[in-house]
């Protein structure tokens, strides 16, 4: 059977690629169409280029396509169509402008320049090179700590549903 979970995981990964830099909590909103917004979007594009997100997106599209084909080899004959689908809707050409606007929403042009300059440093390049590994290993640690206790969570959820059913039945008796 075709493994949709793997596809969903990759879609989540693709949709979260823009989260390399955590947005600040303060309001840095910029009016649409303003010179400041246009400047911020241009600076954000420079940042995205420095982060090499074009290659990241290309790799993600290729891996997503490969996962589908590996999950069910019958899809090998339409592999190029699957890849074209991803490129059409979430490829770099489609996503670059939207991601730049997203960054511009939370960061000023000056902040974007500072972040870009950081990523040009040796340490910044190391951050970019290790970010995916850190995220992956952090998720593994979380699962490792959580999995032995899933029965406890399931019991808590089951108990809550039972209590809700009891309360509902008692409410209907009145």
Domain ranges of the chain: 1-18+29-120, 122-174
pLDDT digits (tens, 9 = 90+) for 93-107: 999 999 999 999 999
Which residue do the tokens 């979260």 mark?
Answer: 16
Per residue in 47-60, pLDDT (tens digit) is: 999 999 999 899 99
Residue-wise pLDDT for 145-170, tens only, equals 999 999 999 999 999 998 877 777 77
Alpha-helix runs per DSSP H in the chain: 4-15, 35-50, 53-71, 79-90, 92-106, 109-120, 122-146, 150-173
CA distance 47 to 66: 29
3-class secondary structure per residue, 145-166: HHHHHHHHHHHHHHHHHHHHHH
pLDDT per residue over 23-81, tens digit each?
A: 433 444 445 555 566 899 999 999 999 999 999 899 999 999 999 999 999 999 999 99
């Amino acid at each position: 059977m075709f493994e949709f979970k793997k596809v969903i995981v990759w879609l989540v990964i693709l949709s979260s690629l823009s989260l390399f830099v955590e947005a600040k909590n303060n309001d840095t909103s910029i009016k649409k169409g303003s010179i400041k917004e246009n400047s911020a979007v241009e600076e954000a594009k420079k940042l995205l280029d420095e982060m090499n997100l074009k290659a990241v997106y290309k790799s993600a599209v290729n891996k997503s396509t490969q996962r589908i084909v590996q999950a069910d080899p019958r899809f090998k004959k339409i592999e190029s169509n699957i890849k074209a689908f991803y490129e059409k809707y979430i490829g770099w050409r489609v996503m670059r402008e939207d991601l730049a606007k997203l960054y511009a929403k939370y960061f000023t042009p000056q902040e974007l320049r500072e972040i870009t300059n950081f990523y040009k440093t040796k340490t910044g390049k190391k951050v970019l090179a290790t970010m995916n590994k850190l995220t992956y290993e952090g998720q593994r640690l979380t699962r490792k700590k959580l999995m032995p206790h899933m029965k406890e969570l399931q019991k808590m959820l089951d108990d809550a549903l039972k209590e809700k059913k009891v309360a509902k039945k008692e409410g209907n008796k009145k």
